[in-house]
């Protein structure tokens, strides 16, 4: 969005922004007008990686179209994009698009549209063959890394189809998405047009109003609550939406009752829930707010996050924890959701199965960590089979039949189900493990059983409670960064830079090992809370004679030289250990 000769010009992207968050759109306009300062959005490494892959996907699509139709006036015509947002430049790109279509181009790449108030760039406009029922049509197509059509992408395509019709061309019958898994989806423009008309009308209503600093959190504007602008606004007013577990509909009820900040909710009378909010729900969010307010009040320049606190919320939920077993396993996946495999036509790769166990015969608290690497589909299948086979065999070991596999959040089980379905292997074994309740999701127990003073219940936010001085200090900070580091590893391998590639892989290994160890420590911490919910941690018997707080990062490590071995040489390593 920009100001052109006194008129606000919006883009197809602005249509999508307004669909998600009208507050973000108007705050951006106020920023362009100089009324407010920009918001620091931080570096989103996952978005940067997705953008890079999106460019590659788009270029690959362009290469395919050129190979099919050739380049030139009757084939693929590439529109040069304006380097500045002047009226002359926008009109020139628009006119070049019109000329390419009029000249009979089979495909127009980066087709530009501009009508004075709305502009956009369609990845492709493709000529459809005559169907015997009407003239030739030109229809928009966009490349997206996603595996499924999304409302935002369809709204943009509908805007391009509308612009094509306004050129006097026959109305497009369909709009098209060329997805990251190689599939193509087709959608009736007539089904999308009513939504487009509504959203364009709303966009114009918003932009026709005088420029001002928009108010956040009101009923007048749609707001999302998670974009950088919304986060900044909520933070500035310490909005009750920052309380973990408070939904937007519950926020409205709380705000109407005057409980619009973290502190106000935390200090509210416990026996006076607002009308429309059930007493148990109110008690839960009120207690959560009180904890968060206490943590925030304890912040110092040296410790800006404050002191993380926790309390038992439901002893019965903690009672669901199985008793410790010497065979217990602590499991964590590392995956690249953006990995593309041309042979399979699917996105995503689980490139590391991380497994942590208690070390037999080792000192108290000692652990052994096993990584199973999978850098392609064949290796992914082998890793799946190796892990399941090892787990089944381990349960048959005397004294280990009652072992459990601990993980945090549903992803691990969901991914295993997906892999079993993908490869058609080990379905019966996984089904038996699931029926026997072998997998234990600690996230569900945490959310029901304890209350933590953090705004997020991600495992990394819980670690100050139980990891002590063993803080994360590796190269990889979080899951999004792990995706980027893994992409760097693959690029270094392709470039023949094995030593640097090994460094990246070791960083990923260390990150995953810490996640597994964090899962173990969390399980032990929860057992301590069960043993002594009202006071300090009470020791709980651990396998190998250890109690909570034992050695963590002293696990046995796989030799680094094995990390880059071909998968068939790694296969079986876990079963041999």
Mean pLDDT taken over the chain: 90
pLDDT tens digit sequence for 302-319:
999 999 999 999 999 999
**What is the model's pLDDT at position 228?**
95
**Are the C-beta atoms of 1 and 30 separated by less than 8 Å?**
no
Cα pseudo-dihedral 160, 161, 163, 164, rounded to 10? 120
* Confidence category of residue 502, pLDDT binned at 50, 70, 90: very high
**What is the model's pLDDT at position 543?**
56
- Least confident among 124-133, 331-340, 379-388: 124-133
Residue 171 has pLDDT above 70, yes or no: yes
- Least confident among 136-145, 322-331, 361-370, 483-492: 361-370
* Confidence category of residue 568, pLDDT binned at 50, 70, 90: very low
* Confidence category of residue 342, pLDDT binned at 50, 70, 90: low
Closest CA to 529 of 519, 520, 540: 540
- Least confident among 102-106, 231-235, 343-347, 544-548: 544-548
**Are the C-beta atoms of 364 and 550 separated by less than 8 Å?**
yes
**What is the model's pLDDT at position 133?**
62
**What is the model's pLDDT at position 537?**
39
- Least confident among 14-28, 297-311, 340-354: 340-354
Higher pLDDT: 465 or 180? It is 465
CATH code linked to domain 317-576: 3.30.420
Q: Which helix (H) or strand (E) holds 568?
A: helix 567-570
- Least confident among 49-53, 246-250, 289-293, 450-454: 49-53
Q: Provide, rounded to the nearest whole percent, the portion of the chain with pLDDT above 90.
A: 80
**Are the C-beta atoms of 266 and 286 separated by less than 8 Å?**
yes
Residues 6+ apart with CB under 8 A from 69: 75, 76, 106, 107
Residue 564 has pLDDT above 70, yes or no: no
- Whole-Å CA distances, 179 to 14, 195, 347: 22, 22, 10
The structure tokens listed for 130 are: 């005559």
* Confidence category of residue 105, pLDDT binned at 50, 70, 90: very high
Residue 530 has pLDDT above 80, yes or no: yes
Q: Is 139 helix (H, G, I), strand (E, B) or coil?
A: strand
* Confidence category of residue 559, pLDDT binned at 50, 70, 90: very low
Residue 349 has pLDDT above 90, yes or no: yes
Residue 524 has pLDDT above 90, yes or no: yes
DSSP designation for 555:
-
Residues 6+ apart with CB under 8 A from 47: none
pLDDT tens digit sequence for 45-84:
888 888 888 999 999 999 999 999 999 999 999 999 988 7
**What is the model's pLDDT at position 450?**
98
* Confidence category of residue 406, pLDDT binned at 50, 70, 90: very high
pLDDT tens digit sequence for 440-468:
999 999 999 999 999 999 999 999 999 99
Range with top average pLDDT, 41-55, 226-240, 465-479: 226-240
β-strands 118-128, 107-114: how paired? antiparallel
**What is the model's pLDDT at position 505?**
96
Question: Does domain 238-306 fall into CATH 1.10.4030?
Answer: no
**What is the model's pLDDT at position 532?**
72
pLDDT tens digit sequence for 193-212:
999 999 999 999 999 999 99
**Are the C-beta atoms of 16 and 105 separated by less than 8 Å?**
no
Place of tokens 């270094």: 492
**What is the model's pLDDT at position 563?**
36
Q: Is 126 helix (H, G, I), strand (E, B) or coil?
A: strand
CA dist., res. 490 & res. 507, Å (int): 14
Q: For the chain, what are the domain ranges?
A: 44-192, 238-306, 317-576
CA dist., res. 38 & res. 55, Å (int): 27
Residue 337 has pLDDT above 60, yes or no: yes
Would you tell me how many other CB atoms lie within 10 Å of the CB of residue 3? Answer: 13
CA dist., res. 164 & res. 176, Å (int): 14
Closest CA to 90 of 64, 121, 63, 65: 121
**Are the C-beta atoms of 496 and 490 separated by less than 8 Å?**
no
Higher pLDDT: 543 or 425? It is 425
**Are the C-beta atoms of 86 and 92 separated by less than 8 Å?**
no
* Confidence category of residue 365, pLDDT binned at 50, 70, 90: confident
What mean pLDDT is predicted for residues 257-268? 98
What mean pLDDT is predicted for residues 160-175? 95
**What is the model's pLDDT at position 573?**
38
């Amino acid at each position: 969005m920009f100001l052109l000769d006194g008129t606000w010009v919006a883009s197809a992207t602005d249509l999508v922004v307004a669909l998600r968050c009208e507050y973000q759109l108007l705050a951006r306009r106020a920023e362009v007008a100089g009324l407010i300062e920009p918001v620091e959005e931080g570096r989103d490494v996952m978005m940067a990686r997705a953008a890079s892959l999106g460019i590659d996907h788009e270029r690959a699509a362009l290469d395919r179209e050129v190979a099919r139709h050739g380049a030139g006036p009757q084939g693929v015509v590439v529109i040069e994009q304006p380097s500045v947002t002047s009226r002359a430049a926008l009109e020139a790109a628009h006119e070049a698009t019109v000329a390419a279509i009029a000249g009979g181009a089979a495909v127009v790449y980066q087709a530009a549209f501009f009508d004075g108030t709305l502009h956009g760039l369609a990845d492709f406009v493709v000529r459809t063959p005559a169907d015997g029922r009407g003239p030739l049509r030109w229809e928009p197509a966009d490349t997206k890394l996603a595996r499924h059509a999304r409302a935002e992408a369809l709204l943009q395509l509908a805007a391009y189809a509308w612009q094509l019709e306004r050129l006097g061309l026959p109305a497009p019958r369909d709009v098209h998405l060329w997805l990251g898994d190689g599939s193509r989806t087709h959608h009736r423009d007539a089904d999308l047009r009513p939504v487009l008309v509504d959203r364009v009308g709303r966009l114009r209503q918003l932009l026709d109003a005088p420029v001002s600093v928009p108010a956040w959190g009101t009923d007048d504007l749609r707001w999302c609550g998670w974009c950088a602008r919304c986060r900044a606004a909520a933070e500035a007013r310490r909005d009750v939406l920052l309380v973990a577990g408070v939904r937007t509909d519950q926020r409205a009820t709380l705000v109407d009752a005057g409980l619009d900040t973290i502190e106000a909710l935390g200090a509210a009378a416990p026996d006076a829930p607002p009308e429309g909010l059930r007493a148990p729900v109110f008690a839960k969010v009120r207690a959560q707010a009180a904890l968060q307010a206490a943590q925030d009040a304890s912040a110092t320049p040296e410790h800006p996050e404050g002191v993380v606190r926790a309390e038992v919320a439901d002893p019965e939920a903690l009672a669901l924890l199985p008793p410790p077993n010497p065979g217990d396993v602590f499991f964590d996946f590392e995956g690249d959701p953006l990995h593309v495999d041309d042979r399979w036509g699917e996105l995503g790769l689980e490139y590391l199965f991380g497994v942590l166990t208690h070390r037999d015969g080792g000192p108290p608290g000692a652990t052994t960590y096993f990584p199973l690497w999978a850098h392609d589909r064949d290796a992914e299948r082998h890793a799946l089979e190796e892990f399941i086979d090892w787990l089944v065999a381990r349960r048959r070991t005397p004294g280990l039949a009652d072992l459990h596999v601990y993980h945090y959040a549903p992803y691990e089980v969901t991914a295993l189900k997906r892999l079993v379905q993908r490869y058609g292997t080990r379905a019966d074994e996984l089904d038996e493990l699931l029926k026997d309740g072998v997998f234990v999701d600690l996230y569900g127990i945490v959310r029901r059983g304890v209350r933590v003073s953090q705004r997020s219940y991600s495992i990394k936010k819980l670690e100050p409670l139980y990891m002590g001085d063993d803080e994360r200090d590796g190269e990889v900070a979080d899951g999004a960064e792990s995706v980027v580091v893994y992409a760097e590893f693959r690029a270094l391998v392709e470039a023949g830079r094995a030593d640097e590639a090994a460094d990246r892989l070791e960083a990923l290994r260390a990150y995953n090992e810490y996640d597994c160890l964090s899962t173990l420590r969390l399980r032990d911490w929860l057992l301590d809370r069960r043993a002594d919910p009202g006071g300090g941690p009470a020791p709980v018997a651990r396998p190998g004679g250890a109690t909570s707080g034992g050695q963590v990062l002293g696990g046995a490590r796989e030799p680094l030289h094995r990390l880059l071995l071909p998968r068939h040489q790694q296969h079986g390593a876990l079963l041999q250990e």
